[in-house]
Amino acid sequence: MSGVAKSADVRPDLDLATSLFATLGRITRQGRGIVRDSYGAGEQAAHDLMRSTAQAIGLEVSIDAIGNLSMTLPGSDRRAKHIIVGSHLDSVPQGGNYDGAAGVVAGLAAVSALKTAGLRLPFDVAVMGIRAEESAWFDVPYIGSGGAFGLLDPACLGVARSDNGRTLDATLRERGFDPQAIRERRRLHDPACIRAYLELHIEQGPTLVARGLPAAVVAGVRGCSRFRNARCTGRYAHSGAVDRPYRSDAVAATVALLHHLESVWLRQEAAGADLVVTSGELYTDPAMHGPSKIAGETRFVIDVRSTSEATMNLMAAEAREAAERIGREYRVRFDLGGTADSPAAEMDQRLRRKLMTLLEQPFEMPSGAGHDAVVFARLGVPTAMIFVRNEHGSHNPEEAMAIGDFAVGTQALLQLLMDFPL
């Protein structure tokens, strides 16, 4: 590293960050919430703002074939592998001001500080405004990051936007981008040239607020293994007339199965595993059920999430085994069906350890929601995430992130950049 400033003196440009958050909120608010529709006017306004800001700072700006924005601070060796600091600039309908945007603003606040301090890192740092991460508009997650690496199924081009019915293909062309890149699965960026991918994001649950911590290091992003169409078949009968040994009660059996899975969850949790298990849908048939009837059928979902593929596989196997056993006990038949799976992504061990040393109150936690970081991590790019405390959860107008907490996370990000190579 060259330059006059000592790295300890360099602080993220919080004036820039505060001004960007205020402008973003002003130009993309519709009613109570934020609307930065993927490849729509709201997302484009956010991209335009980041781009003009980057040009004012003196960064190199480029836009790939599907609209991802790279704002690069050149390093002393332009051919060295570069670091990407990124996140998405779209939001869900009536979302909040920080989900996604905080990561791009953090990147700009960090490189603006480096530039002002006259520090030249030995490699380029590219702040990336990624397109269309939210699946709310096209029902496809990670369009920007997946498309950047030729990973999207080209069939996604035919998916219609949830509100206006325009296909992704047509929408890309309207914005002047090239759907052919997705159709050909073209690689727009080379993962082998990326030293690391770093993403700061607001926490979307209550953990940091509850623990009184400003920021955390993300240990990994949870994957999901979901029995989407599980079913239990028993026999409808009179609730008063049938003693227990003769019942085939689908509700009782389903409750026993879900209760068993909760007991396994508690054991796994006690043993230190990362795991959440949810049954967010559980139905009897309203055409057949009744207050004086034993239910002859249930339909339900079992949603298992963990940062560990092994833990998810273990729970899925446990559910199948328990369904067999409990089915015999209750004289019912379970048909759990197959699982719909999305993979977990572990964050880079070395980057995690380093980030932990950069937080005054070090704390690690999993991410329950998916992020563009998953795409980079699964390509083998060393990937790390920082969570910043945020009240009221995310994907709603009440997202609330204090600039002081943002400063803690962004300082760790900036320090990590300055300490590379580790």
Which spans of this chain sit near Zn ion (rule: CB under 5 A)? 99-100
State in angstroms the smallest separation of the CB of 385 from Zn ion: 11
Q: How far apart are CA 367 and CA 223, in angstroms?
A: 9
In the complex with Zn ion, the residue whose CB is nearer, 99 or 203, is 99
State in angstroms the smallest separation of the CB of 88 from Zn ion: 6
In the complex with Zn ion, the residue whose CB is nearer, 43 or 99, is 99
State in angstroms the smallest separation of the CB of 232 from Zn ion: 36
Q: How far apart are CA 348 and CA 163, in angstroms?
A: 38
Adjacent-strand bridge partners of 126: 72, 84
Q: How far apart are CA 43 and CA 31, in angstroms?
A: 16
State in angstroms the smallest separation of the CB of 85 from Zn ion: 15
| Per-residue DSSP letter, 161 | P
User: DSSP E strands: which ranges in 38-182?
Assistant: 60-63, 69-73, 82-88, 125-130
170 CB-contact burial (10 Å; exposed 0-12 / middle 13-18 / buried 19+): middle
- Would you report the helix, strand and coil content of the chain in percent, each value rounded to 5? 40, 25, 40
Tokens of 1: 């590293």
In the complex with Zn ion, the residue whose CB is nearer, 171 or 390, is 390
In the complex with Zn ion, the residue whose CB is nearer, 202 or 319, is 202
State in angstroms the smallest separation of the CB of 326 from Zn ion: 38
Q: How far apart are CA 77 and CA 63, in angstroms?
A: 22
State in angstroms the smallest separation of the CB of 34 from Zn ion: 12
In the complex with Zn ion, the residue whose CB is nearer, 133 or 274, is 133
In the complex with Zn ion, the residue whose CB is nearer, 215 or 322, is 215
For residue 3, which amino acid is it? G
Please report the DSSP string for 335-367 in residue order. E---EEEE--EEPPHHHHHHHHHH-SS--EEEE
State in angstroms the smallest separation of the CB of 265 from Zn ion: 26
In the complex with Zn ion, the residue whose CB is nearer, 40 or 100, is 100
